[in-house]
Amino acid sequence: MKFSPAIGLLLTGALIVTACQPTAGTGTSPTSAPAAATPAAGGGGTINVLLTQKVVDLHPLSGQRNAGFLIATMVFQDMLYAVGADNKYEPRLAERWEVSSDAKTWTFHLRKGIKWSDGQPFSSKDVLFTWTRYATPDASDQAGKLAVLKGRKDFVDGKTPTIAGLRAPDANTFVMELDEPNSALLSTFAWPVLPIIPEHILGNVPPKDLKTHAFFRNPTVSMGPFKLVRWLPDQFIEMERNPNYWKPVKADKVFLREMDPNVAVTAVEKGELDVMLTNGDDALRLERLPNLKVEAATSPGINKITIRREAAPFNDKRVRQAFLHAIDRKGIIDTVYKGRASIVNTDLRAPGTIPSGLDEYAYNPAKARQLLADAKWDPNYVYKLAYPVGSNDRKAYTEIIQANLAAVGVKSQITPLESGAFQEAITKRTVDGAAVGGGVYLIDGNSVAAPVNCNRFFPIGENLAHYCNPQVDQLFLQARTITDQTQRLALYQQIAKILNDEVSHFWISASDSVYARSTRLTGFRPNGDSTTFTVGIADWAKAQ
């Protein structure tokens, strides 16, 4: 998984927006994108990248958030725009965009002369097809996000064959018209991103068959910088340079290797891996090696524990507050992250969205015990906490949490789960909590709207905790209709106070994303969002 109202030049009734740093707390970005470069030959060698999680599929329409989603969104298909390594919007297939003065019509101007990897021309028809499919419940787990489109309900109800709010007036222009103003629209679609899929391959596939279509196990056509060569499950995915990409791709090949993080540390030391996500003690060890460089970027997301707050005992706010006081978050930051993290006490992180006076939930076992006593906590209840296999930091901090809870009289059970089982546990609510992370929350407060929205429960949305407060939803809706930055920030601060008081999650930290890379690897920029760190992979190369 990050945005801002359209702040730009008011020209002929439209705000002209392109890809530079947005004003804090607003939803778009001003300036002009560089002209599309003529794709050049490779020569950048073969790059080996670590995948710490099992790849299930490569499906951008799916609600699954596994390593395959990273590959699908950042490698095999590209998107209109993305959030780059510097937490700014950057143009991708759209070289610039603009929003009308009433914030209801967004126009994207596409790069010209682009082709799919099979040589077929790319046009706004592909974008129109893709976004129509994303808006179709039978086809997409992202459909709820597109409910804002004009005419979308009539389309879903079968009253119209198309969505009135989606238009392709010419080959290089794509228009989105909304029912209500939304000055923060870019943040809505920035994470999880919505890659473009090929109409000439999938256009005749019934929407209900898209989720299981063979194309997403073996994408034969690409719009990303690389195209699939072969995929050996549980081993690696091999890709080669896409000569039709919209900008030069330097590397000739990329291998994405599934590997246990402990084995990966040895592999990167030996030069068998060129880049890996790391942290803690491993980072301290690797930064001492002359053949490696350790680099970090501030994460735009949050490490947190989901809460099964719809049922006892966690439907009592005092229990949730007690748990947060019981967890030694500063100790976790010092021990697990070696100080490369900070404590957060609400889901919002964008500048100007965090008010003063929030409860800091300082580590206080005595207060935790009192709150639990007030809530009549059952000492025989066993708190069930899951973390995903392959995430060493989550394994480490869940073990610390287990000890912290025991100190206040709470029994707990922590369970490592493979990617599919982990997501199933969140979906079916079979655990009390799940250690999760990610999100892109540093550009605009609206980026938190979907992860706490009553209608966006996972797996059809980003709300992993199934948090629901209609007042919060209404405040986000109100903020999207306002273009005045000060007014929007005031609403976001109200939301931050509610989430803080209700303890929407057990917030652990906002940690840096730390990477170990070979000194031979050039063009790599550490990305705060570790779930999409391959966003700039076209620029990577390895000295021979």
H or E segment to which residue 541 belongs: strand 541-542
Measured on CA atoms in the order 302, 305, 311, 316, is the torsion positive or negative? negative
Residue that the structure tokens 């947190």 belong to: 304
Share of the chain above pLDDT 70, in %: 89
CB 19 within 8 A of CB 347: no
Alpha-carbon distance 110 to 106, whole Å? 13
Q: What percent of the chain has pLDDT over 90?
A: 64
Residue 31 banded pLDDT, cuts 50, 70, 90 = very low
What is the Cα–Cα distance from 339 to 65, expressed in whole angstroms? 27
Q: Enumerate domains of the chain plus CATH numbers.
A: 302-512 (3.10.105.10)
Nearest Cα neighbor of 226 from 215, 210, 237 is 237
Say if residues 166 and 129 touch (Cβ distance below 8 Å). no
Backbone angles phi, psi at 222, to 5 degrees: -125, 150
**Which helix (H) or strand (E) covers residue 175, if one does?**
strand 173-177
Cβ atoms of residues 349 and 490 within 8 Å = no
Residue 87: phi and psi, rounded to 5, are 60, 40
Overall average pLDDT of the 28-44 stretch:
50
* Token pair in block for residue 332: 């976790």
Average pLDDT taken over every residue of the chain: 87
Report pLDDT for 62: 67
| Cα(360)–Cα(514) distance, integer angstroms | 26
Give the model's pLDDT for residue 349.
94
- Tens of pLDDT, residues 404-459: 999 999 999 999 999 889 989 999 999 999 999 888 898 899 999 989 999 889 88
The pairing of beta strand 9-11 with beta strand 14-17? antiparallel
User: How far apart (Å, rounded) are the C-alpha atoms in residues 317 and 467?
Assistant: 13
What number of other Cβ atoms are within 10 A of residue 361's Cβ? 23
Out of 73-82, 144-153, 238-247, 492-501, least confident range: 73-82
Q: How far is CA 36 from the centre of its chain?
A: 26
Structure token pair of residue 117: 């990897």
d(CA 73, CA 255): 16
Q: CA-CA distance, 56 to 51, in Å (whole number)?
A: 12
Compute the distance between CA of residue 526 and CA of residue 9 in angstroms, rounded to an integer.
32
Distance CA 77, CA 68 (A): 12
Residue 399's pLDDT is 98
Opening angle at CA 204, ends 200 and 210, nearest 5: 100
Token output for 40: 């050049």
pLDDT per residue as tens digits for the range 160-190: 999 999 999 999 999 999 998 998 889 888 8
Instruction: Enumerate the β-bridge partners of residue 506.
Output: 305
Residue 239: C-alpha distances to residues 26, 194, 245, 257, 531 (Å)? 37, 21, 14, 11, 19
Query: How many Cβ atoms sit within 10 Å of the Cβ of residue 21?
Result: 14
pLDDT at 396 exceeding the cut of 50: yes
Strand partners, 511: 341
Question: Which tokens is 428 given?
Answer: 């079916």
Q: Whole-angstrom Cα distance, residue 225 to residue 228?
A: 10
Q: What span, in angstroms and rounded, lies between the C-alpha atoms of 319 and 373?
A: 9
Please report the beta strands in 389-432, taking only residues with DSSP state E, as ranges in sequence order.
Answer: 411-417
Instruction: Categorize the per-residue pLDDT at 73 as very low, low, confident or very high, splitting at 50, 70 and 90.
Output: low
> Tokens 């930051």 sit at which residue?
333
Beta strand extents in 52-150 (DSSP E only) = 81-83, 89-91, 94-100, 105-110
DSSP label at 199?
H
Residue located via tokens 């540093």: 442
**Which regions of 111-234 does DSSP assign to beta strands (E)?**
166-170, 173-177, 226-232
pLDDT band at 64 (very low <50, low <70, confident <90, very high): low
The position carrying tokens 């709820």 is 144
Q: What is the mean pLDDT of residues 256-271?
A: 92
One DSSP character per residue, 485-509 reads: HHHHHHHHHHHHHHHHHHT-SEEEE
Q: With both helix axes pointing from N to C terminus, report the angle between 485-502 and 317-326 in degrees, rounded to the nearest 10.
A: 90
Binning the chain into helix, strand and coil, the percentages to the nearest 5 are: 30, 20, 50
Q: Between the ranges 33-42, 313-322, 432-441, 450-459, where is the mean pLDDT highest? A: 313-322
Number of H helices, E strands in the chain: 14, 22
* Cβ-based neighbour number of residue 502 at 10 Å: 18
Find the largest Cα–Cα distance for the chain.
68
